[in-house]
Amino acid sequence: MIGKTTKKRVKRKLVLFDSITRQSKNEKVSVWSGKLGTYVFKSSGKAGSRTPVSQVYLNREYFTGVFRTKDSSTFSGDIKEIDRKRYLIFKIVGLEKIDIFEKF
């Protein structure tokens, strides 16, 4: 195969960012608590592949948008900083618990 290049896919390392437990829930908003503070998930009500499923606020400040992935128990998000972007994976562990991982 002359001229064909193969791109090697590198899996990023996942490090636990926070583990959160649900405190309360209603139709539009669910409140979760973790080591870093209080997370509020606000449903966007929009369905689409490129639109966030919900918006997440951490301690009353916008944290990230949460997007669907191929796996129904995993969602993705990112934190934009001045010099880089931090990618997060929200893994649903149970009805009352979500583990948030950061990709490195």
Cα separation values, 73 from 6, 76, 80, 91, Å: 31, 10, 24, 6
Q: 89 or 5: whose pLDDT is higher? A: 89
- Note the pLDDT of residue 45: 80
Given a cut of 80, whether residue 5 has pLDDT beyond it is: no
Asked if residue 90 lies in contact with residue 75, where contact means CB atoms within 8 angstroms, the answer is yes
- Note the pLDDT of residue 51: 86
In Å, the largest CA–CA distance within the chain is 59
pLDDT one-digit tens code per residue, 10-46? 677 999 999 999 999 998 999 999 999 999 999 988 7
- Note the pLDDT of residue 46: 74
Torsion region of 102: left, alpha or beta (phi above 0 gives left; psi -120 to 50 gives alpha): beta
